[in-house]
């Protein structure tokens, strides 16, 4: 039988693997009444207490403590404490994750670290259509003469790319930012190791939505952003993971004072700190970290397995609704149907994805698009309900059926 509104409402009552889902949802501030948000793959919802935390650090920290904040408050401990909070979501030990810098900067640091450790190997393997910034970072490293790049189009081309025994590191996105196709992290990491290479994973489109097992997969290195499903706020600090077996092997690519073994000794020469602290560079972004802490305190209490189960129920339901109501209207699924092969968002293929997404926003359903033809629903497992999905698909179907999305006002540029 076809799903209906009552079915979706019932799913919210009976299938939540997260105990007291309503309490988790209430931990985040709602948007304008009637607006549905499916853009957690771009910017996740705001924790309800983030503004109060920001105001507190402005008053008690910046205005009153000022320089004393470095010794009297937790500012210097933030990279480690925030990393420990999100580590379970990554399937990592708390000691191996640090929140710092941006995804691109962390990508640079860990690519260079991998090249240093694997010398004289100097080849970086990455996907041809990876998120552009990841490719740009690698191209910059290659341009400086430190590495050579080797591109693959699909994971099945990886064995051939590794055959020459010259690969230092395989750098892959766990989830494709357009289609939401998810790689088998354990299998591809094992393949890289079998050929003497390290594996570096970008978790930006999976962390906080689906299950990740960095330690179980024996991943070497990982990076990711903090502002998508992790809800750290616009431009939130990113994070990095370094396998414990690699942490003391070499100097970091960027040797900054926060990565020194004795930060406030102000020695003339650099000594790398033990563990992943050596990958810290400059002064922690205190204000941004405080905003991130509002989300981190939520993540400390969330079961990763329950989160994954909730996300599976939501996205499987969304796909069924789309199949039943929208596939006859020219829209098709671009994401894998299997949850195990899918990341945080559900992607659809439609020739008019960009104007259609703007038309949906105008109708109160916030989605996103990516060139050339991807329409993306970023489903957040802590805030989205099955009933929300029903309403969103009804609006999508109406726009497709009526053709209202063709209105010229929806043809402007959009991010």
Interstrand relation of 97-99 and 239-242 (parallel, antiparallel or unpaired): antiparallel
From 28, 227, 239, 292, active-site residue: 227
Burial class of 240 by CB neighbour count within 10 A (0 to 12, 13 to 18, 19+): buried
Closest by CA to 221, choosing from 172, 254, 183, is: 172
Alpha carbon 309 to chain centroid, angstroms: 18
Largest interatomic CA distance in the chain: 73
3-state SS assignment for residue 374:
strand
Closest by CA to 293, choosing from 82, 101, 17, 60, is: 82
Our answer to whether residue 228 is catalytic in this structure is: yes
Our answer to whether residue 239 is catalytic in this structure is: no
Our answer to whether residue 227 is catalytic in this structure is: yes
Do the beta carbons of residue 219 and residue 201 sit within 8 Å? yes
Q: At residue 98, what are phi and psi to the nearest 5 degrees? A: -130, 140
3-state SS assignment for residue 27:
coil
The rounded distance, in Å, linking the Cα atoms of 1 and 280 is 55
From 37, 38, 131, 292, active-site residue: 131
From 109, 121, 178, 228, active-site residue: 228
Our answer to whether residue 59 is catalytic in this structure is: no
CA atoms within 13 A on the CB side of 152: 19
Closest by CA to 117, choosing from 24, 302, 251, is: 251
From 376, 377, 388, 410, active-site residue: 376
Burial class of 144 by CB neighbour count within 10 A (0 to 12, 13 to 18, 19+): exposed
The rounded distance, in Å, linking the Cα atoms of 378 and 301 is 22
Cite the DSSP H helix spans in 27-165. 50-56, 69-72, 78-90, 103-118, 132-143, 158-162
From 96, 176, 202, 308, active-site residue: 202
Our answer to whether residue 131 is catalytic in this structure is: yes
Which residues are known to be catalytic? 131, 202, 227-228, 376
């Amino acid at each position: 039988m076809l799903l209906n509104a009552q079915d979706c409402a019932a799913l919210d009552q009976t299938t939540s693997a997260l105990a007291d889902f309503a309490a988790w949802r209430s931990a985040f501030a709602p948007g304008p009444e009637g607006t549905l948000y499916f853009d957690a793959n771009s910017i996740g919802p705001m924790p309800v207490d983030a503004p109060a935390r920001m105001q507190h650090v402005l008053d008690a920290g910046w205005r009153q403590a000022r320089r004393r904040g470095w010794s009297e408050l937790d500012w210097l401990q933030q990279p480690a404490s925030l990393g420990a909070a999100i580590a379970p979501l990554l399937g990592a030990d708390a000691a191996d994750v640090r929140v710092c810098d941006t995804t691109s900067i962390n990508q640079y640091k860990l690519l260079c670290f991998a090249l240093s450790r694997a010398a004289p190997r100097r080849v970086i393997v990455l996907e041809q259509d990876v998120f552009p910034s990841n490719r740009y970072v690698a191209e910059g490293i290659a341009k400086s003469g430190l590495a050579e790049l080797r591109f693959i189009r699909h994971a099945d081309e990886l064995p051939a790319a590794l055959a020459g025994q010259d690969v230092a590191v395989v750098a892959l996105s766990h989830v494709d930012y357009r289609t939401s196709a998810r790689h088998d992290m354990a299998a591809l990491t094992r393949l890289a190791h079998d050929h003497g290479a390290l594996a570096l994973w970008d978790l930006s489109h999976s962390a906080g939505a689906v299950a990740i097992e960095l330690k179980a997969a024996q991943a070497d290195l990982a990076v990711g952003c903090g502002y998508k499903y992790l809800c750290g706020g616009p431009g939130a600090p990113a994070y990095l993971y370094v396998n414990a077996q690699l942490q003391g092997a070499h100097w970091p690519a960027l040797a900054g004072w926060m990565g020194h073994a004795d930060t406030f000794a102000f020695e003339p020469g650099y000594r790398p700190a033990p563990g992943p602290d050596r990958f810290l560079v400059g002064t922690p972004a205190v204000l941004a970290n405080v905003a991130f802490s509002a989300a981190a305190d939520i993540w400390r209490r969330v079961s990763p397995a329950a989160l994954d189960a909730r996300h599976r129920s939501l996205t499987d339901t969304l796909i069924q609704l789309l199949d039943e109501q929208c596939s006859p209207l020219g829209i098709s699924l671009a994401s894998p149907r299997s949850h195990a092969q899918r990341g945080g968002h559900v992607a659809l293929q439609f020739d008019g994805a960009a104007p259609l997404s703007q038309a949906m926003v105008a109708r109160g359903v916030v989605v996103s698009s990516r060139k050339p033809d991807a329409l993306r629903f970023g489903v957040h497992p802590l805030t989205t309900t099955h009933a929300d999905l029903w309403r969103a698909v009804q609006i999508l179907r109406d726009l497709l059926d009526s053709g209202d999305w063709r209105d010229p006002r929806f043809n402007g540029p959009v991010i």
